[in-house]
A and B are shown apart, each in its own frame.
Chain A
Amino acid sequence: MISAQLPALQVILPMFAAPIAILLRRGKLAWMLALVVTWIAFAISLVLLFQVLDDGPIQYFFGGWAPPWGIEYRIDALNAFVLVIIGAIGAAVLLFAGPSVEKEIREGHQHLFYALVMLLLAGLFGIAITGDAFNVFVFLEIASLASYALIAMGKDRRALTAAFQYLILGTVGATFFLIGVGLLYAMTGTLNMADMAERIHEIHDSRAVLTAFAFLTVGIALKAAVFPMHYWLPGAYAYAPSVVSALLAGTATKVAVYLLLRFIMIFGADFAYVALPLGATLAVLAAIGILVASSSAILQNDAKRLLAFSSVAHLGYIVLGVGLGNDAGVTGGILHMFNHALAKGAVFLAMGAVMLQIGATHINKLKGLGAVMPWTMAGFTVAGLSLIGVPLTAGFVSKWYIVTAAIDRGWWPLAVVMVVSSILAVFYIWRIIDAVYFSPPGANTENVKEAPVIMLAPLWALAGASVYFGIDSSFPASVAGKAAAIVLAQMP
């Protein structure tokens, strides 16, 4: 009964929680509602994933209207995996959110903050789950508008300009996406992605289809912050409230990469990789982006900004994997979406705990924190190792996939880029570790206490998962493999 409605509930629950959170008017109540809803959504995403793995793709017709008249939700291994990533990060971050939001957001704004977080999650779930191209645009804008407002709630006034910049670039990206969808609709006469994929094969040579592909790719790349379109990301992540940084870093750009994969699937991998040089273009841009962003990360003096640049670099890994266009590469890219979400979520949560206790994340202010906040910093270190890609952490597994894929393709320089950037990652993670453990404590770390357990638990859950899936990666790797097979189905 109810299990048949799970795909709809996945999106509707957080969406309806948003107005209710506003009506509750009290920050604490809104938090509890958001927490319960997010955990239910996480549970739903897990159930959907296992259903898909057991019985194959799920189709859900909204309101009982079959496509092409109605909107179809269609879940296969690829988007079920993305739903779980959003659900897991959302569940961890919202557990953490209570004390952090109380400190960072003004009293009268807290319930509105949770309403926006719910809208953001509804939008992200919606992008991932829907099988209708125009529906994607609507959810994309729901998620984007919520995230612009959330970023602007940061305390620093630079949060405002960062949010504005993101708004401009995000809207240009989304409108490009809309142009692409319009051209595809004009050419195929359908908005349903599955129907589109069927009809598009006969008209591959059409110039309108080429143009649609170009607009879609550039629009999505803007949203995914693919180098050199990453300009909005560091500011947005650095000045947003801690909870928002952790949530966005774990989910928003990953969902954009998912869209890229979905449209590669719709156009057919043979079209994207063989007829067009999408793979080589993405791989080269990603490689440059990885090196530039990793080097910039080393030069940052604010820990959150440093981690934001590291996010750009890691997106580079994911896009590089996608660009390689072979089985191991795409599998590695999808797997890295998951592994990076865990690790980056954990380090941003650690920074949120630091923000709660000392009110700043400048590296100079972190000195000696290892002694007074041992659990937070140990969690940061574990997740940091996964970001570097040390063996026995999840980051190593996905990087290994991508490096082998690069070697298989014969693109040796890309494998070298991966190794060099891992060394750069050692440097930037080390800058924080050095301040935390090996510097004499500053005056501001006296009387600082460890963060509350409710914040440490999600931090350690994510950091622990990074280690667990580093030792036994068979489950996420098998799902990622299935997802990659869907993307590359048309590959000759």
Chain B
Amino acid sequence: MAFLGTYNYWIFITLMMIGLYIVIVRGNLVKKIIGLNIFQSSVFLFFISVGKVSDGTAPIILHDGGEAIYSNPLPHVLILTAIVVAVSTSALALALIVRIHESYGTLQEELIHEAERAP
């Protein structure tokens, strides 16, 4: 049952592999970016999982001053930053894709390489 207890990490690894696979295998530049996004999102899930404390609650001081177990809020904050970074990366990549489409007329990697080899 140890396997099920860490199921979120298994999801992280599966998503990560799917994302990387798309980045490597797909020839369409937009699909590559989607793969990259899946890959990055998987890492976000990993960070969030790390911050979870069993039976922990949101890290807000209780009204009655009682004791409570808190989840670690830091990974969430880090991931907010990382999400911003990922969004900027996607935006920049899509802008590049628009320019590439303008000058090559295609988004297929092989066709772009062919066009580059041609004098």
8 A Cβ contacts from A431-479 to B: none
Q: Tally of A-B residue pairs with Cβ under 8 A?
A: 67
A158 near B93 (CB under 8 angstroms)?
Answer: no
Q: Residue of B at shortest CB range from A152?
A: B96
Are A175 and B96 in touch, CB under 8 angstroms?
A: no
Known contacts A161-B100, A185-B50; is A175 also within 8 Å of B40 by CB? yes
**B85/A138 in contact, CB under 8 A:** yes
Given contacts A138-B85, A168-B23, contact A179 B43 (CB under 8 A): yes
In the complex, residue of chain A having the shortest beta-carbon distance to the beta carbon of B113: A161
Bitwise, A181-206 to B at CB < 8 A (1) or not (0) is 01001100001000000000000000
B36 adjacent to A157 (CB under 8 Å): no
Nearest CB of chain A from residue B11's CB, rounded to whole Å: 15
A152, A178, A179: the one within 8 Å of B99 (CB): A152
A178 / chain B contacts, CB cutoff of 8 Å? 43, 82
Contact of A168 among B32, B50, B74, B100 (CB under 8 A): B32
B10 CB within 8 Å of chain A:
no
Contact B89 A164 (CB under 8 A): no
Contact of B97 with A by CB under 8 A:
yes
A137 at the binding interface (Cβ < 8 Å): yes
Q: How far is the CA of A64 from the CA of B52 in the complex (A)?
A: 29
| B81–A138 touching, CB < 8 Å | yes
- Give chain A's interface secondary structure class: helix
Interface: A300 (CB within 8 A): no
B13, chain A: closest CB distance, angstroms: 11
Task: Give the residues in chain A near B43, CB-CB below 8 Å.
Answer: 175, 178-179, 182
A152 and B96 CA atoms in complex are apart in Å by 8
Contacts of B78 in A (CB 8 A): 134
Give the residues in chain A near B29, CB-CB below 8 Å. Answer: 164
Q: Which residues does chain A contribute within 8 Å of B100, judged by CB atoms?
A: 160-161, 164
Chain A residues 366 to 417 lying within 8 A of chain B, measured CB to CB, are none
On whether the beta carbons of B104 and A157 are closer than 8 Å, the reply is yes
- CA–CA, A158 and B81, complex, Å: 32
Bound Cα distance from A185 to B49, whole angstroms: 12
Question: Residue B116 at the A interface, CB < 8 A?
Answer: yes
Q: How far is the CB of B69 from chain A (nearest CB, A)?
A: 16
The residue that A160 contacts in the complex, of B74, B89, B99, with Cβ under 8 A, is B99
Assembled-state Cα–Cα distance A85/B66 (Å): 54
Q: Which residues B38-63 have CB closer than 8 A to chain A?
A: 39-40, 43, 46-47, 50
**Which one, B46, B50, B82, contacts A137 given CB within 8 A?**
B82
**How far in angstroms is the closest Cβ of chain A from B17?**
13
Q: What separation, in Å, do the CA atoms of A179 and B93 have in the docked complex? A: 22
Return the contact of B40 from the options A152, A161, A171 (Cβ within 8 A). A171
On chain A, the residues within 8 Å of B85 by CB distance are: 137-138, 141, 145
Q: Which one of A141, A152, A157, A164 has the greatest number of beta carbons of chain B within 10 Å?
A: A164
Within 8 A of B (CB), among A107-154: 134, 137-138, 141, 145, 148-149, 152
Give B contacts to A, CB under 8 Å: 20, 23, 29, 32, 36, 39-40, 43, 46-47, 50, 74-75, 78, 81-82, 85, 88-89, 92-93, 96-97, 99-100, 103-104, 112, 116
Known: A160-B103, A182-B75. 6 other contacts (CB 8 A): A145-B92, A161-B100, A161-B116, A175-B43, A178-B43, A179-B43
Q: List 26 A-B contacts (CB under 8 A).
A: A137-B82, A137-B85, A138-B85, A141-B85, A141-B88, A148-B92, A148-B96, A157-B103, A157-B104, A160-B103, A161-B100, A161-B116, A164-B93, A164-B97, A164-B100, A167-B92, A167-B93, A168-B23, A171-B36, A172-B36, A175-B39, A175-B43, A179-B46, A182-B46, A185-B50, A185-B75
